[in-house]
């Protein structure tokens, strides 16, 4: 294991919007940056800023001891790094995989890398391309703590808050999946609310201040929910599930009156009804997290 990894140079494999942002931040930090992308022609602006444009992934892998990969998913990562010429070039080097995928895929990639003699750290980028290299960036890592510690000075070029979540290599992806669950179901709820509002003649801008108010209610509810889940008690004093389920049924009813699909809210209502059937009607809605986990 290299104790003196040369961190004055870095390679970035993958030049989608995020790969370009990462490479740009490394260049801004003064690192010798080599870039490669499957489809040629994405490296023009980076090359103009001083990046070395490699002609192949194996050439790019050989150009630095630290290789950052950021492509659409881990199938794409495998398509790049598991080609024998690339795997050979990576041997003895360090890969930081900032591609989003599942915890299982992160574990599988780490296993493969270990077999190949490649040091491997998994990462998950939680903020948009514009945040990279600024204080707004949020990037989580999982894998060997020692390796993360060693790479910190270089990864600092990506900016913001960078957290090592643990040695278990699936952990950054697991956090990401949980957070994406919140994000996409919330966005589905907002999109659905906009459709209902429009059907009732309410414009998105008219709804906006009230929608933002609902958003602001959530953080304290998350805090209460975390305390409840850890403590095993689910206070429903303010809003028991028997009451919550009735307001959900209203949303389903009005959606369907307007011919708007109510699948998302029906799913939420079904979660609550199941918890009530199991005798938790006096509890708050987040009791459903436990019920879901025990199916």
Please report, as ranges, the residues that interact with ligand NDP according to CB under 6 A.
Answer: 14-19, 37-39, 42, 70-73, 76, 79-80, 99-100, 125, 128-129
Residue placing its CB nearer to ligand NDP in the complex, 90 or 248: 90
Query: Which residue of this chain has its Cβ atom nearest to ligand NDP in the complex?
Result: 16
Tell the smallest beta-carbon distance from residue 114 to ligand NDP (Å). Answer: 22
Our CB check for ligand NDP shows the closer of 18 and 110 to be: 18
> Is 125 buried (19+), middle (13-18) or exposed (0-12) by CB count in 10 A?
buried
Q: Which residue number, 101 or 228, has a Cβ lying nearer to ligand NDP?
A: 101
End-to-end CA distance of the chain: 44
Closest approach of ligand NDP to the CB of residue 100, in Å? 3
Q: Which is nearer to ligand NDP, 94 or 131 (CB)?
A: 131
Min dist. Cβ of residue 116 to ligand NDP (A)? 18
Nearer to ligand NDP, 123 or 281 (CB): 123
Q: How far is the CB of 124 from ligand NDP (least distance, A)?
A: 7
Q: Min. distance of Cβ 282 from ligand NDP in angstroms?
A: 40
């Amino acid at each position: 294991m290299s104790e003196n990894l040369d961190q004055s140079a870095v390679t970035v494999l993958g030049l989608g919007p995020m790969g370009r942002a990462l490479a740009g931040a490394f260049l801004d930090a003064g690192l010798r940056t080599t870039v490669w992308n499957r489809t040629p022609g994405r490296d023009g602006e980076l090359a103009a800023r001083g990046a070395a444009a490699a002609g192949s992934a194996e050439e790019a892998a050989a150009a630095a001891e630290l290789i950052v990969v950021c492509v659409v998913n881990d199938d794409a990562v495998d398509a790049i790094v598991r080609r024998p010429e690339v795997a050979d070039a990576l041997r003895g080097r360090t890969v930081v995989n900032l591609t989003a995928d599942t915890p299982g895929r992160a574990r599988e990639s780490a296993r493969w890398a270990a077999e190949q003699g490649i040091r491997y750290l998994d990462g998950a980028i939680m903020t948009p391309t514009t945040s990279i290299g600024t204080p707004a960036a949020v990037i989580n890592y999982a894998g060997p703590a020692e390796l993360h510690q060693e790479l910190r000075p270089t990864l600092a070029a990506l900016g913001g808050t960078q957290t090592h979540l643990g040695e278990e290599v699936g952990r950054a992806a697991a956090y990401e999946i949980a957070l994406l669950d919140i994000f996409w179901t919330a966005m589905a709820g907002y999109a659905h609310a906009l459709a209902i509002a429009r059907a009732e003649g309410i414009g998105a801008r008219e709804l906006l201040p009230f929608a933002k108010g609902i958003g602001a209610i959530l953080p304290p509810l998350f805090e209460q929910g975390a305390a409840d889940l850890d403590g095993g008690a689910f206070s429903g004093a303010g809003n028991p599930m028997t009451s919550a389920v009735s307001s959900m049924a209203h949303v389903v009813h009005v959606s369907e009156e307007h011919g708007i699909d109510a699948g998302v809210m029906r799913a939420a209502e079904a979660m609550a009804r199941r918890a009530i059937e199991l005798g938790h009607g006096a509890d708050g809605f987040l009791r459903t997290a436990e019920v879901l986990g025990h199916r």
